[in-house]
Amino acid sequence: MSAKVLLEGRDISLGFRGVKALRHVSFEVREGELLSIIGPNGAGKTSLLNCISGRYRPSEGELFFDSRPIGSLPTAARARLGIARTFQNLALFAHMTVLDNIMVGRHHLLKTGFLRGGLYWLGGAQREEIEHRRRVEEIIDLLEIEHIRHAVAGTLSYGLRKRVELARALAIEPRLLLLDEPMAGMNLEEKEDIARYIMEVNDEWGVTVVMIEHDMGVVMDLSDRVIVLNYGEKIADGTPQEIAESAEVRAAYLGSADAAA
């Protein structure tokens, strides 16, 4: 029996001053799946992620998360439902430590109110902070960043900052993790590390993943399924093998229907 649909988009369209970034894109993401979105530059990949995360609102169509319509919900409300994302361009607080950056991701999970928080030792704030710290430590261990936990984020190498951004997204405790080019600009060793972390998050933590990635080797190795966009339209949806064998995908993505997949 196949897993239930966690995220669904129906006829998603998005336009900017007459330019169509997305044209009637429909898709499903099943719980526990690792889905990759590929396509040439300008195909609408990041625009689609922005619609899912709430950064953009589609001009047409509707989005459903766990069967609930979310098209009108702001970004913060979607985070509370369990939708987290990373960005192409790093969005860390450069002046804050790694630990503090990760803790920011747990802000929406805080339950202790201002008055109870003021009575730290008498109220639930102490217990709550211990639990949040425990969850953050699990993420730090998974991503192997113990040695930089107290480092200022802005002083770190690019590869480590990308890892910290992933940690902050995981701190939200997402059911759905949106990754926008998580390996862009990385060397081979860094890519291998991030690929391993993504697989562990998906396989061992049970987090559903939607990923934009240009490295086709990574896409083919990691993905359960692949969606292909071209000029804002979905032109293919299938297993990595089906996508690799598609002449239409080769023509759009590589410029020639005869090119090797």
Domains and CATH numbers, the chain: 5-82+174-254 (3.40.50.300), 92-156 (no CATH)
Cβ atoms of 99 and 152 within 8 Å: the answer is no
Q: What is the pLDDT of residue 193?
A: 95
Q: Exposed e or buried b for every residue in 90-110, given b needs 16+ CB within 10 A? A: bebeeeebbbebbbebbeeee
Both tokens assigned to 16: 């900017």
Cα 207 to Cα 42: distance, rounded to the nearest angstrom: 28
> Looking at residues 223-237, what average pLDDT do you find?
96
- Comparing CA positions, the residue from 173, 210, 183 lying closest to residue 33 is 210
* Residue 39, Ramachandran bin (φ over 0: left; ψ between -120 and 50: alpha; else beta): left
> Looking at residues 129-147, what average pLDDT do you find?
89
Cα 226 to Cα 242: distance, rounded to the nearest angstrom: 9
Under DSSP, the state recorded for 39 is -
63 has which bridge partners?
9
Handedness of CA 70, 76, 81, 83 (dihedral sign): positive
- Comparing CA positions, the residue from 206, 147, 203 lying closest to residue 175 is 206
pLDDT of 152 above 70: yes
Both tokens assigned to 204: 């061992």
Q: Is 115 helix (H, G, I), strand (E, B) or coil?
A: helix
Task: Identify which has the larger pLDDT, 122 or 233.
Answer: 233
> Looking at residues 41-46, what average pLDDT do you find?
93
pLDDT of 120 above 50: no
Query: For the chain, what percent of residues have pLDDT higher than 70?
Result: 87
Q: Report pTM.
A: 0.88
What is the overall mean pLDDT for the chain?
Answer: 88
